[in-house]
Amino acid sequence: MDRLVHLADDFGQSPWLDNLKRSYITSGQLQALVDRGVRGLTSNPTIFQKAIQGSPDYDEQFSALAAGAPHPIIDDYWAMVLHDINSALDIFEPVYTATSGLDGYVSVEVDPGLAHDSAGTEIAARALSERVNRHNLMVKVPATHAGLPAIEQMIAEGRSINVTLIFSLERYAAVVEAYISGLERLAASSTADLSSVASVASFFISRVDTEIDKRLDAMGSPEALALRGKAAVAQGKLAYQMFEQAFSGPRWQALADRGARVQRPLWASTSTKNPAYPDTLYVDELIGPNTVNTLPDATLEAFADHGNLVRRIDVDVDHAESDWRDLAAVGIDLDGIAEQLETEGVASFQASFNELLEALEVKAASLRNNA
């Protein structure tokens, strides 16, 4: 049996795939991964930029779209993206049913240009949810300051949300509060079905180590160098402690009694960037119940081949706490790094989004000129 199946069945962590392109659907590869134990899927603007620009798989659909009456190129983007999203939703529908709505979700991101626009994010998230209109869709909303009110509002409306681009424990606390507050507003209706709402809180793991390791290397002291490769896992373990505390006690129990689901921590960006570290580091060290790990293709195959199936998320938490304190003690500005990584994350997705739209504009003009 594949380690991916054991990960979910024996350890309570759902393996999701962090990738989507049309050939995965048409070739049967995505269905094969589901058969091996993959239980959900995440996408983002960078993934779609690579998929659409990197293969001819979208040419036929795009040519048909571009041949119509003049219209904004972003309409063509969404038509191609949602074609893939809807196909993936079909493939994961049986997983949603078999797990009673725990898994089987497919995530798609709102326009990254709205990351600092609360009202715009709310409108876009609602429109995307209503346009797709599938119970196993998760709309991705970034955990920026502006994103938090939109997250609460979407939950209050009974929509499932993947909260993305989390880089700090402080922001995670605000995300959890937005989720619980949204559920409390939804629960104000005596007929609301809280069990139909699902959410994950997505920490971007490897990016934390990449940035902090760079700064530790620059410091060069024995104390600093001894902390390399420890920050991301430590933060994940501390976040899990916060998760367990938030989703317990009288406030949460009142919602759980109405069928509410916990907002599971999701570990994203789990490919190992430093070749000196094990290629399954950010899977092995963060295994535990009520969590999700969304895996890029190579990391998924590496874990399936030689990952370590051991519950680690709540082991050596005292070491995680001391590592976190030590990072601050040697001069690592944890809050500043979180802010930097959030800014870079938003900018990266925006750049991919813009680059793809510009490429589609050029391609559409070429098709019209050759018609």
CB-based burial of residue 142 (10 Å sphere; 0-12 exposed, 13-18 middle, 19+ buried)? buried
Number of domains the chain contains: 1
pLDDT at residue 4 in the model:
97
- Grouping H, G, I as helix, E, B as strand and the rest as coil, residue 188 is coil
Phi, psi of 141 (to 5 degrees): -125, 130
Q: Give me the pLDDT at residue 371, please.
A: 56
Domain that holds residue 93: 3-370
> In this predicted structure, what is the pLDDT of residue 77?
94
| Single-letter residue type at 212 | I
Residue 140 bears catalytic tag:
yes
Give the whole-angstrom CA distance, residue 307 versus residue 310.
9
> What residues does 91 pair with on adjacent strands?
none
Q: What is the pLDDT along the chain (371 residues), one digit of tens a residue?
A: 589 999 999 999 999 999 999 999 999 999 999 999 999 999 999 999 999 998 899 999 999 998 878 889 999 999 999 999 999 999 999 999 999 999 999 999 999 999 999 999 999 999 999 999 999 999 999 999 999 999 999 999 999 999 999 999 999 999 999 999 999 999 998 899 999 999 999 999 999 999 999 999 999 999 999 999 999 999 999 999 999 999 999 999 999 999 999 999 999 999 999 999 999 999 999 999 999 999 999 999 999 999 999 999 999 999 999 999 999 999 999 999 999 999 999 999 999 999 999 989 888 887 777 65
Residue 200: CATH number of its domain: 3.20.20.70
Please pick, among 21, 50, 140, 363, the residue that the annotation labels catalytic: 140
C-alpha–C-alpha distance, residues 300 and 306, integer Å: 10
pLDDT tens, residue by residue, 243-290: 999 999 999 999 999 999 999 999 999 999 999 999 999 999 999 999
Global pTM value: 0.96
Q: So what's the pLDDT on residue 2?
A: 86
Contacts with 266 (C-beta within 8 Å, 6 or more apart), sequence order: 16, 42, 162, 200, 201, 202, 203, 291, 292, 293, 294
Give the pLDDT score at 344.
97
Classified as helix, coil or strand, 164 is strand
